[in-house]
Amino acid sequence: MIRASLRSLDEADRARLLAWRASPHVSAFMYSDHRISAEEHDRWFNGIAGDSRRRFWVIEADGAPVGLTNLADIDTTHGRATIARYIADPAVRGRGVGGFAEFKVLDHALLQMGLRKLWSEVLETNAVAWRLHMSHGFQREALFRGHVVKNGQPANVVGLGLLSEEWRMIRPVARQRLIDKGYVAEALDGPIPD
């Protein structure tokens, strides 16, 4: 059984996140291919604090940091935000931690923060990621053809969306799936840092 949790970022994450983002195990799935410099990373990291449009959480498994999840473009006028995540260590993938993080952020955004909708963009080739969203109730709303240039080639991007009422309906199914994978009810139902 894996004990997973989400925590707020701290200063020690600055170097960790740059290393994770530069890792081929993560960068392969991101839009941009360029190598992120320390200066660019510092600007990004420093900008998180005090930015009400973005929230980040480090995903931990058995007490060790293993990935990052976030809400971005938080728009209170329209009640929506984008959601994303990665598990940096491929050895931790496929054990439910990504699903756990998805579950926790959906609860936080749609039930605690009161947003109406979450949406996400995923490379079409990244079927594990868009299927993970769909198993939590997201619907495929768009196919953006040739939307980004990845490895020098145009790549399609899938746009997915989830309404809060859809999450309320599918939440018990997603919760039971995680319980069947060994996640405990207290960890699933408890709050995450704001």
Ligand X SMILES: CC(C)(COP(=O)(O)OP(=O)(O)OC[C@H]1O[C@@H](n2cnc3c(N)ncnc32)[C@H](O)[C@@H]1OP(=O)(O)O)[C@@H](O)C(=O)NCCC(=O)NCCS
By the criterion CB under 6 A, which residues form the site for ligand X?
26, 29, 84-87, 93-99, 122, 126, 128-129, 131-132, 135, 177
| Residue 75 Cβ vs ligand X, minimum distance, rounded to whole Å | 19
Contact 39, 46 (CB under 8 A): no
In the complex, what is the shortest distance from the CB of residue 105 to ligand X, in angstroms, rounded to a whole number?
A: 11
The smaller minimum CB distance to ligand X, of residues 76 and 184, is found at 184
Instruction: Say if residues 66 and 20 touch (Cβ distance below 8 Å).
Output: no
| CB closest to ligand X, residue no | 98
Residue 109 vs 122, nearer CB to ligand X: 122
Q: Report the residue number, 69 or 164, with the smaller CB distance to ligand X.
A: 69
* Shortest CB 2 distance to ligand X, Å: 9
How near is the Cβ of 45 to ligand X at its closest, in Å?
19
Nearer to ligand X (CB atom), residue 57 or residue 86: 86
